Chains A and B, each alone.
Chain A
């Protein structure tokens, strides 16, 4: 299985996806725009990451109770919030553990590792 098609591998590879799940980690559903703005992500980067996380069922697009639909030029629009799923919590915790382990090891073995690896895992 390719890394991209497996949730943990994807989460370790994608900084925006990791940041989005971390922002939702407390379980509180949040509107997409406030998550995007708090992380200062480009709209397209944010959308791709959210869609990927939703594909893996790590994050759900939820219509919160009490919402009201409205008409738009394209059809019907419904407000959304993003919420981390139980599986999302599990995979995020695992990814945080892997990242922590890699960072510790990178500190220890620093000068023997490729510069690109250090740059990726030990950002200044």
Chain B
């Protein structure tokens, strides 16, 4: 069991069929030893999340992902397992990986569950960090708003999380993402209890 407080790396698990994310060699060949690779031949988004959790660990943040914390059997159990996990892990925060070419359905399912956890301790803009890839969204220089570029997204998915507040760290290339996660981790040193 990992010592508190823990950062949970959330996000999608699989690429859309036929999508090639052009992952750099560093990620393809550098998956952590504590993780069993799921994607084949390419690492899957869940593998990339494990890589990012490892980057956070290198920066002295206890970090993990749901898939590394046990096994579930059904979709129904996924929800129960995730809720139990976020209740159990003292909040160090949430890093949400949001790449192009993967369904964000899981992420949109996780958002309200994370906010629901509020009170132990509350989810705030200090604890939730969203990493959308360029193409998923960008901030508009004329309005000052961040826009998620998918007409299928409904505002209802974002309401609870938006009300709680979060931070956005946009990226374009995977090498840039890794460096950015490292920098954000350094800029937000782990809180010692």
List the interface of chain A (C-beta within 8 A of B).
Answer: 31-33, 36, 43-44, 46-47, 50-51, 54-57, 60-72, 74-80, 85-88
Chain A nearest Cβ from B178, distance in angstroms: 12
- Chain B contributes a number of interface residues (CB within 8 A of A) equal to 38
Please state if A62 and B168 are interface contacts (CB–CB under 8 Å).
yes
CB of B16 within 8 Å of the partner chain: no
Please state if A47 and B159 are interface contacts (CB–CB under 8 Å).
no
Q: Which of B153, B162, B167 contacts A67 (CB 8 A)?
A: B162
Known interface pairs A57-B186, A61-B169, A80-B139; A72-B144 also in contact (CB < 8 Å): no
Q: Which of B146, B150, B188 contacts A63 (CB 8 A)?
A: B146
Known interface pairs A65-B125, A70-B155; A80-B186 also in contact (CB < 8 Å): no
Q: Which of B140, B145, B146, B180 contacts A57 (CB 8 A)?
A: B180
Distance in angstroms between the alpha carbons of A59 and B26 in the assembled complex = 27
Beta-carbon contacts under 8 Å, B144-178 to A: 144-151, 153-155, 158-159, 162-171, 176
List the interface of chain B (C-beta within 8 A of A).
Answer: 124-125, 137, 139-151, 153-155, 158-159, 162-171, 176, 180, 183-184, 186-188
Known interface pairs A33-B144, A74-B149, A80-B145; A67-B186 also in contact (CB < 8 Å): no
Q: Which of A46, A54, A87 contacts B169 (CB 8 A)?
A: A54
Please state if B149 and A75 are interface contacts (CB–CB under 8 Å).
yes
Chain B nearest Cβ from A106, distance in angstroms: 32
Chain B nearest Cβ from A67, distance in angstroms: 5
Distance in angstroms between the alpha carbons of A88 and B153 in the assembled complex = 33
Residues of A within 8 A of B150 (CB): 75
Please state if B146 and A54 are interface contacts (CB–CB under 8 Å).
no
Chain A nearest Cβ from B128, distance in angstroms: 9
Please state if A63 and B165 are interface contacts (CB–CB under 8 Å).
yes
> Could you pull out 20 A-B pairs where Cβ atoms are within 8 angstroms?
A43-B142, A47-B141, A50-B139, A54-B169, A54-B170, A55-B176, A61-B168, A61-B169, A63-B165, A63-B166, A65-B124, A66-B163, A67-B165, A74-B151, A76-B154, A76-B158, A78-B147, A79-B144, A80-B145, A87-B187
Residues of B within 8 A of A61 (CB): 139, 146, 167-170
